[in-house]
Structure 1
Amino acid sequence: MTLAALIAGLFAFVAVLRGLKVQRHALDAIGVAQEAVGVIADPDLTDEVKERHVQRAALSLLRSFVILLAIGAAACVSAAAFVIGGDLFGLFSIERAMGIATSWPFILWSTVGAVGLWLVLARVGGQGQAAEAASTADEMPYSALDKALHNFAFASPERQLALSSIEDKVWRRTIEAVQAERPVFVTSLPRAGTTILLELLAGQGEFASATYRNMPFTMAPLLWGQFSRVFRKTGAKAERAHGDGIAVDFDSPEAFEEMIWMAFWPGHYGKARIGLWTAADRKPDFEAFLARHMRKIVAGKSGAFRYVSKDNANIARLPLLAAAFPDAQVVIPIRNPAAQVASLMRQHRRFCELHARDRFARQYMEGIGHFEFGAALRPIAFPGAPEDAGGAEHADYWLRYWIAAYNHVLATAPGGAVFVDHDALSARPTDHLPLLAEALGVGDRTAFLAASETFRAPKPSPELPGASPLLMRRATALHRALLARALRMTTRERKVV
């Protein structure tokens, strides 16, 4: 009887905590603290604004503390009621109940039971509420606790590197046994089709890529993957924040490699722009780290033996990649400049609006090294490119950036780089996928070609209101030069088709 009363008290304790929404109040408090830290660290705000925000945060935290204290007291009273009631009705004594409650077997199993009960109730309570897909990482559907965890991970590259070092020791044999053969780096300016190429390759059995599940400790994918299994989320695919029709979930591949570059080359990331890399910038410790990281990613996918990543900033370091990883293949999709510039402008406006209403959205993008849009925009310092984000609302800004970026690509891309005509691939995937499969040495050609259904013909090239005719002519001429290096069917192949 005594044990039954203690168990009933445990159930009551957990039920009251959940019924009074202790988790929500605790997460609200964490969110207030996280927001306050973000405000304090924001260099764009004045000291007066920061002081007012911190004062409001302090009052909010005091309120949350009182609420949590009251909920805790109510939960304890509900649990104690069963013990006191049993004593009053003469079923058992309080002394006996306390003796059992303070014994280590009861403490151990009651803790395990309470956690299990909490998870069961949370799962039941969540039925019917579709879990947000991880892609919506760009939309920031994170709880306050998620945000705090991400900020903790992003705050210190040294912390990420330390976790990776621990991982190296724990999974040493696994990592050494894996070979990441002929890695593939997909890169270009954003909105050129890099994401669909990443998904195409990562969907093949031989390729492995980082996924949203690697967040936020992306440099320790095996260690974090093992730990996060306990609270791993699921969810149906949903359209990502770009609003471009690409649906992703927690298992979708994504671009997280830039965090490694930021950890080893912090000096390249200025407040207004990002510097260029040359072949002379080689760092043996970085190359060894990235090589191990590739093997870790491959080790996380059964049957894979090749690594693939997408990193738009890699066009700023093509000579270094070629020198550091001579067996790697670089894939560079090329898109019609008018269509790409229109898309760049649209995404920039979209993310400016998002960053204005959600501070964490900007922190998230900057934390993973995505400086392409919105308030996080920092152009890469290609010769002739804009020096900062000023004027990014105009078409000429993006045209100048497009011309500067792809002139640099033409001048620095290694001879073995695979240029892909994104528009032709989208319009005629059954013609162009075999060329890409051949260029990359894809093993399962049948599975690769089956992905042709995911492509959609490009829309007619849009007008760019206010664009300089001179810049448009320069971009068009450069586009022709880029396409001259792109994969093409031979005359004989075209006749066969």
Structure 2
Amino acid sequence: MTVVFLIAGLVAFLAAIRLMRAAAVAQDVVTTAQDALAVMAAPDLSEDAKETAVRRASIRLAGRFLVIAGIGIAALAAAAAVVWAGAATGLYTLDEALRVGAGWPFILLSSAGAVAAWIALDRRARVPRGDGAGAERAAEVPYGPLDRALHDLAFATTGQQRQLAALETRLYRRRIDPARAERPVFVTSLPRAGTTILLHMLARCPELVSASYRHMPFTLAPLLWGGFSSAFRRPPEVSERAHGDGIDVGVDSPEAFEEMVWLAFWPDHYRRDHIRPWPDNARDAEFEAFFRTHLAKVVATEPAGRRYLSKNNANIARLGLLEAMHPDACIVVPLRDPAAQVASLVRQHRRFLALHARDPFARRYMEGLGHFEFGAALRPIAFDGSAPDPAGADDADFWLRYWISAYDHVLSRAGGRVILVDHDALCRDPVPGLEALATALELDAPGALTDQAGTLRPPPPAPTLPAAQPALMRQARELHAELRRHALVRETAPRSA
């Protein structure tokens, strides 16, 4: 009977905690701390506003901790009352109950049972109801409160990330080989040009290594954090990314995390409503040493890797600088039909506007990574020196002008290390295109790339964009034709417009 009443006491303890919503209070603590970190990282708030917000958060946290302490005392009292009741009826003595309850068999089995019961109850409570909209919203940003707090902490402490990276360099100095920073491959273009699918295909080549979700959120320390996080990561699961474009990602999927390094060293380029491009001569010895070491670290995360690979859309604003920093690099710039790309840009911008309105963390997540391409996080790159107004981004003409400005910049800045790839031509006839790309990249195992030809599908006909200005559309098509003439991968015969 002693064990029965001890188990009953444990049930009473768990019931008290759940009935008094201890988990909700704890989540409120995490959310409050998370919001405070976000305020501290906000570039558009004054120091006085930040101090006021943090003071309010501190007061709320103190109150929440008192509530949690009260819940804990009440739950312990409920458990103690059950155990005392059994002893009061003479079924056992309190000394016997203490002896059994303090024994390792009961502690071990009761702890495992309590954890299993708690998880089961949580899963039952999280089963989606109705039309599944709740499950869809949860999948858009698949992070719980603790994950979100960790990400906010990482995004708000760029200086500490650099210090962590310096510690990592000392700890892993024997694994960091400078030769692994040689001949890097940078994939860049405006979003929706085929950069992600190209990244995924190239990442399957054994010599090329990209940053992955395993390195989040402390991406400046991929060896240290990647090794630490692997100890408690769940088994790899894949799901469609927030873009809703059919591309599945998981913890080992390559992703665009390189911009966090540029954010850490060049904060002045990231203005409130635009990003300033980098001059070709914007050399910085400290940054370049850190960047080259970072490239070698990412490659060192995979024993078979020998070359760095990244996808970073913002690199389109620093082509000349990248070539100056890495004269042995390959900079791959996919090109897409401007009407198709603009239509996709408009869709994605509207999609992320809605997502950011529903979930502010989604915006903080994108901004923390340096992804300023869409939604409320949009900060266009001022390619020609003038910053387009993000307020007009719901219009196709905004994106057409942006497209023209971006690829005029590419045409004028692309040097000998830039490889232009006609994405539409590659999708229509992938085998020769992938063979040419593998040769240009000097891949040790070109078959690892060309064997993926079946991944690509012919693109659908480009939309007409009836709301766009005809003059802008003609200018974009003329520029696209000129870019295609310089492309490594292109169609041998011109298509009718």
Q: TM-score range by the shorter chain?
A: 0.7 to 0.9
Alignment of 1:352-431 (within 5 A): 352-383=353-384, 386-431=387-432
Q: Decide whether aligned partners of structure 1 residues 322 and 235 sit closer, same or farther in structure 2, where only a CA change above 3 A counts.
A: same
Contact 2:425-2:490 at 8 Å conserved across structures: no
SS of aligned partner of 2:452: helix
Letter in 2 for 1:425: L
- What is the distance in 2 between the residues matched to 1:100 and 1:355? 50
How well do the aligned residues superpose, as a CA RMSD in angstroms? 4.0
Q: How far, CA to CA, are the matches of 1:170 and 1:4 in structure 2?
A: 52
2:338 aligns with: 337
Judged with a 3 Å threshold, the aligned counterparts in structure 2 of structure 1 residues 41 and 115 are, in CA distance, closer, same or farther, namely farther
CA distance in structure 2 between the aligned counterparts of 1:162 and 1:143, rounded to whole angstroms = 27
CA-CA distance at 1:346 after TM superposition: 1.1
The correspondence of residues 197-236 of structure 1 with structure 2, limited to 5 A, is 197-234=198-235, 236=237
Verify: 1:469 aligned to 2:490, yes or no.
Answer: no
Q: Give the letter aligned to residue 344 of structure 1.
A: L
User: How high is the TM-score relative to the length of structure 1?
Assistant: 0.83
Q: CA offsets per residue over residues 443-476 of structure 1, 9 Å max, x none?
A: 2233322212221211111121321222111111
- 8 Å Cα contact 1:331/1:418 also seen in 2: yes
| Aligned residues of 1:433 and 1:452 also touching (Cα < 8 A) | yes
Whether the 8 Å CA contact 1:386–1:397 is kept in 2: the answer is: no
Q: 1:413: Cα distance to partner?
A: 1.4
What letter matches 1:209 in structure 2?
A: S
Where structure 2 has 5 or more consecutive residues not aligned to the other structure, the ranges are: 129-135, 493-497
Relative to structure 1, is the Cα distance of residues 25 and 485 closer, same or farther in structure 2, using a 3 angstrom cutoff?
A: same
1:72 aligned residue: 72
User: Is the 8 Å Cα contact of residues 318 and 412 (structure 1) preserved in structure 2?
Assistant: yes
Aligned-pair CA distance for 1:73: 2.7
How far the C-alpha of 1:386 sits from its partner, in A, is 3.9
Aligned position for 2:132: none
Deviation, 1:488, is: 4.0
Deviation at 1:357, TM superposition (A): 2.0
Q: Distance in 2 between matches of 1:448 and 1:349?
A: 34
Cα shift at 1:405: 0.8
Distance 1:278 1:111 in 2: 64
Which has the higher mean CA deviation after the structures are superposed, 113-122 or 152-161? 113-122
2:316 is matched with: 315
Deviation at 1:160, TM superposition (A): 0.7
- How far apart, in 2, do the equivalents of 1:400 and 1:293 lie? 35
- Greater Cα offset, 25-34 or 425-434: 25-34
1:248 aligns with 2:280: no
Question: 1: distance between equivalents of 2:81 and 2:295?
Answer: 57
SS in 1 for 2:357: helix
Relative to structure 1, the CA distance from residue 324 to residue 64 in structure 2 (aligned partners, 3 Å threshold; closer, same or farther) is: same
In 2, are the aligned partners of 1:316 and 1:380 still within 8 Å (CA)?
Answer: yes
Aligned to 1:27: 27
> What SS does the corresponding residue of 1:372 show, helix, strand or coil?
coil
| Distance apart, 1:261 and its partner CA | 0.2
Q: Which moved more, 1:37-46 or 1:455-464?
A: 37-46
**Are residues 457 and 490 of structure 1, via their aligned partners in 2, closer, same or farther at CA, if it must alter by over 3 Å?**
closer
Change (3 A) 1:13 1:126: closer
Q: Is the 8 A contact 1:336 1:479 kept in 2?
A: yes
How many residues align? The count is 482
State the SS of the aligned residue for 1:415. Answer: coil
Instruction: List per-residue Cα deviations over 1:131-166 (Å, max 9, x = no partner).
Output: 9xxx99992222222211111110121011111112
Partner residue, 2:133:
none
Taking structure 1 as reference, are residues 160 and 54 closer, same or farther at Cα in structure 2, changes over 3 Å only?
A: closer
| 1:273 alignment counterpart | 274
Q: What letter matches 1:26 in structure 2?
A: A
CA contact (8 A) 1:385 1:400 kept: no
Give how far 1:112 is off: 8.8
Pick closer, same or farther for the CA change 1:138–1:169 going to 2, 3 Å.
Answer: farther
2:131 — aligned with what?
Answer: none
Q: Classify the secondary structure of the residue corresponding to 1:175.
A: coil
Matching residue of 1:454: 455
**Any conservation in 2 of the 1:379–1:389 contact (CA below 8 Å)?**
yes
